[in-house]
């Protein structure tokens, strides 16, 4: 993938072969490329930022855009804003990075809790976005915006849905990335239920414990990702609210409308992130509950075993005392020389054992197992 240049106006959207000398009067220029191509085009991007945005990117922000491990973050200068937002990795990307995947579609949901950073440099009339390899978010937006532009051109009453500013485009794209997290919730719930069933089975398989630990670790990672995303978007929202109206448009009414639209869209994205965050916390609590139930079940099973062993020991203890008494080396003992003494002793042993067993049963020290 090479550098793609898109000119976005209020009524059209078209690709350009080169970065224009000036931005459209009623629109902006969007430059998007993959992270692997950033170094080769860094000088050209800096020139475009200087010419169309009014300032070159700082070295620290260049490092943020090309970093593979940068968390979701927001930073700003007096000329441009920097937003880094981590999107979900595809299953193929997760497996390539070494994240273990489970068996089945539901188990693969935990493997997808891996992320790739998407970086945005947001000027007034210029947007530079840096995407990980194979990221289809930019292409998807291009196709959808082209369809909306054609719809608006064909029907006078149709509302034009093309972005009105670089910030508007970034918020729409981030909203789509967050929707990927929302769509993952169902698979995560199914995967966790499967892990819980395996762990709480009467005879759990050996890997069940490792699966639940892996699930808890991945859910904790998802919670951290959402918290970083929430903080970054909240900082940007605060900046959008604090900017003067003149920075949005010359007309006061138009500027107020654009700011309200951006603020509303940013709040909507934050609300979606909160939903994912709350769901991740609920699933993490469910995983912790499954672990506690597992330990409780193991403790109950141990108690049942110890109670059974104790009852058996208590039943045979009088019998051992009885046989020990008659096993003493004295010449004169009751029933020693009697032909029926063995049967009398055997009967007494059976009666004592049966009596203790009935007494234990009535006191519910011994109960019938229920499956």
Q: To the nearest whole percent, how much of the chain has pLDDT over 70?
A: 86
- Please say whether the beta carbons of 108 and 143 come within 8 A: no
pLDDT score for 43: 92
Q: pLDDT band at residue 190, thresholds of 50, 70 and 90? A: confident
* pLDDT tens-place string over residues 302-328: 887 888 788 778 777 877 877 777 777
Q: What would the mean pLDDT of 250-272 be, rounded to a whole number?
A: 90
Q: How many whole angstroms separate alpha carbon 278 and alpha carbon 181?
A: 12
Q: How many whole angstroms separate alpha carbon 150 and alpha carbon 208?
A: 53
pLDDT score for 305: 81
* Radius of gyration, CA atoms only, the chain: 35
Sheet with strand 13-16: strands edge to edge:
13-16, 4-9, 27-34, 126-131, 115-122, 81-88, 73-76
pLDDT of 227 above 90: yes
pLDDT score for 100: 53
Q: pLDDT band at residue 1, thresholds of 50, 70 and 90? A: very low
pLDDT of 202 above 90: no
- Of the candidates 282, 251, 136, 112, the one whose C-alpha atom is nearest the C-alpha of residue 184 is 112
Q: What would the mean pLDDT of 287-315 be, rounded to a whole number?
A: 81
pLDDT of 187 above 60: yes
pLDDT of 157 above 50: no
pLDDT score for 140: 72
Q: pLDDT band at residue 64, thresholds of 50, 70 and 90? A: very high
**Residues 26, 169, 158, CA angle at the centre, nearest 5°?**
65
- Of the candidates 347, 344, 354, the one whose C-alpha atom is nearest the C-alpha of residue 315 is 354
Q: pLDDT band at residue 159, thresholds of 50, 70 and 90? A: very low
- Please say whether the beta carbons of 112 and 90 come within 8 A: yes
């Amino acid at each position: 993938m090479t550098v793609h240049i898109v000119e976005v106006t209020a009524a059209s959207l078209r690709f350009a072969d080169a970065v224009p000398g000036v931005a459209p009067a009623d629109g902006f220029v969007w430059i998007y490329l993959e992270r692997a191509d950033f170094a080769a085009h860094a000088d050209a991007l800096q020139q475009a930022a200087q010419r169309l945005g009014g300032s070159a990117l700082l070295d620290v922000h260049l490092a943020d855009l090309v970093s593979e491990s940068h968390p979701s973050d927001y930073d700003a200068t007096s000329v441009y804003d920097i937003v880094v937002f981590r999107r979900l990795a595809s299953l193929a990307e997760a497996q390539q990075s070494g994240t273990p995947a489970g068996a089945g579609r539901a188990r693969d949901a935990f493997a997808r809790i891996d992320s790739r950073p998407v970086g945005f440099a947001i000027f007034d009339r210029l947007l530079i976005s840096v995407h990980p390899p194979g990221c289809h978010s930019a292409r998807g937006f291009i196709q959808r915006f082209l369809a909306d532009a054609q719809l608006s051109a064909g029907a006078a009453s149709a509302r034009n849905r093309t972005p009105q500013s670089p910030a508007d485009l970034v918020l729409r794209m981030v909203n789509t990335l967050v929707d990927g997290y929302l769509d993952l919730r169902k698979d995560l719930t199914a995967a966790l239920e499967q892990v819980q069933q395996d762990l709480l089975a009467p005879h759990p398989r050996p890997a069940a414990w490792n699966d639940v630990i892996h699930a808890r670790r991945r859910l904790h990672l998802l919670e951290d990702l959402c918290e970083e995303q929430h903080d970054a978007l909240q900082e940007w929202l605060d900046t959008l609210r604090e900017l003067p109206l003149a920075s949005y448009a010359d007309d006061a009414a138009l500027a107020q409308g654009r700011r309200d639209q951006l603020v509303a869209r940013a709040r909507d994205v934050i609300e979606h992130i909160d939903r994912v965050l709350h769901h991740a916390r609920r699933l993490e609590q469910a995983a912790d509950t499954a672990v506690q139930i597992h330990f409780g079940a193991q403790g109950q099973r141990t108690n049942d075993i110890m109670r059974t062993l104790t009852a058996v020991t208590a039943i045979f203890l009088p019998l051992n005392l009885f046989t020990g008494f008659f096993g003493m080396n004295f010449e004169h003992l009751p029933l020693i020389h009697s032909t029926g003494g063995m049967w009398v002793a055997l009967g007494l042993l059976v009666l004592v054992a049966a009596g203790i067993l009935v007494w234990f049963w009535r006191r519910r020290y011994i109960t019938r197992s229920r499956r």
